[in-house]
Amino acid sequence: MSSAATTGTETAGAPEPGTAGPEPGAAPAPVAAAPEPVAAPEPNAAASPHAPPSPADPTAEPAISSTATTATAGAPEPGTAAPEPGAAAAPDASYDLRPDPVLAPGLRAGGPPGAVSHEPPLSPVRQATARGPLAEGATTWRPRQVSLAHEVRGEGPDLVLLHGVGLDRGMWERCLPALAARHRVVLVDLRGHGASPAAAAGVTLGELAGDVAALLAGPTHVVGFSLGALVAQQLAVTRSELVASLTLVSAVAERSAEERSAVAGRRRRAAEDFGASARAAVERWFPPEWRDREPSLAEAVLGTLLATDRTSYLACYDVFATADAALWPQLPRISAPTLAITGADDPGSTPEMTRRLAGQIPGARATVLPGARHLLPLERPGELASVILQHTGPQESPE
């Protein structure tokens, strides 16, 4: 029996094309029933931009969407075979066409000769290769893993540096001379930051950590700042084989109700007035004497915050503001040697948090730098690099 190519419905009792008619004297075939009406689409259902022509009008041209930038999930391209029943829909190749963000001058310095930089192009094809499944009711895909922009400096045991919300890998520039003299340092732009792909609303700490894990070939000294410290802890809990040691810089942990309320308020202000929120962050991070001493640095940090994609910033800030609660009971599973360090005057990642963090992770140590605030990699780079190197251990001498 031939199949109906476009409707999947046959006329009851009608002979197949090319088959013999009824025998003389045979009872006439029953009158063909009227074709079933095509069901109307559900309310609010999206129409396919590649709907085939109706068989009732053989002259009709296929409908083509000329303005949509995102194809309806699962709709076949014109001229291609429809997917088998139950087969997974092909990923939409128009995912995330965001251009590279403009980075503030001065915060990310150019690498020295011989530095290796990896800036993945934001091509739809590359984005489509790592998508997670489309959640029920969702209209856009969120990648389960993305390729992160990163660069490599120095030689020695592997060490990866993870930045905070709204910043990028350039915040580690002042620590690099000392760290790259002893380590092969991988500097990363987390998802939604710098030159890495955007972060969609609802991105999880596990997804951010998975992006980083894809860059690590084996045991690596992991150093995370603020949001990066949460990512580092997640790696140590779920991918312990990749973590040689853990350094948590200006980290948050087990926020009190008052601290949760404060960070939630900052998240609301960022959604309402992003510029004012960014300026308030710089005011918190830079004491007046430091800002007077290095005004161009403060402006560069502000510029980097303002250049961050707004959706990405808010999505990652949600992780920063909430993920510590679910992570806290898992911290005793961490087996890597751990150091937690913060500034004595940091109002967000307080010394009390750092001590609580060290108490929750077996064998961890806490260090507090007097007279320092949040941005230790920029405010106290020499002391921070020294503490990191003491923690990662002496470089093995060649035989």
Over residues 143-191, the pLDDT tens digits come to 577 899 999 999 999 999 999 999 999 999 999 999 999 999 999 999 9
Question: Domain range for residue 162?
Answer: 116-131+141-392
Q: Is the pLDDT of residue 201 over 90?
A: yes
**Residues with Cβ < 8 Å from 152, sequence gap 6 or more?**
115, 116, 118, 184, 185, 186, 187
Q: What are phi and psi of 34, to 5 degrees?
A: -65, 140
Question: DSSP label at 239?
Answer: -
Is residue 277 domain-resident?
yes
Q: What is the mean pLDDT of residues 190-198?
A: 97
Q: Is residue 324 part of a domain?
A: yes
Q: Does 25 reside within a domain?
A: no
Is 309 exposed, middle or buried, given 0-12, 13-18 or 19+ CB atoms closer than 10 A? middle
150 three-class SS: strand
Q: What is the CATH number of the domain that holds 215?
A: 3.40.50.1820
The structure's pTM equals: 0.68
Name the burial class of residue 301, with classes exposed (0-12), middle (13-18) and buried (19+) by CB atoms within 10 angstroms of its CB: buried
Q: How many domains does the chain have?
A: 1
**Of 19-28, 62-71, 198-207, which range is least confident?**
62-71
Angle at 207 between CA 342 and CA 392, to 5 degrees: 40
* 96 pLDDT tier (thresholds 50, 70, 90): very low
Which positions ≥6 away from 175 have C-beta within 8 Å? 161, 377, 381, 384, 385, 388
Residue 145 is predicted with a pLDDT of: 78
Q: Does the residue 335 lie in any domain? A: yes
Only one residue has tokens 């029920």, namely: 136
Is the pLDDT confidence value at 354 over 90?
Answer: yes
* Beta bridge partners of residue 188, listed in sequence order: 150
pLDDT mean over 267-284: 96
34 located within any domain = no
- Per-residue confidence (pLDDT) for residue 229, from 0 to 100: 98
Q: State the pLDDT at residue 143.
A: 53
Higher pLDDT, 230 or 113: 230
Q: Which of 100, 95, 5, 13 is nearest to 56 (CA)?
A: 5
Q: 108 and 170 in contact (C-beta within 8 Å)?
A: yes
Q: Is residue 304 part of a domain?
A: yes
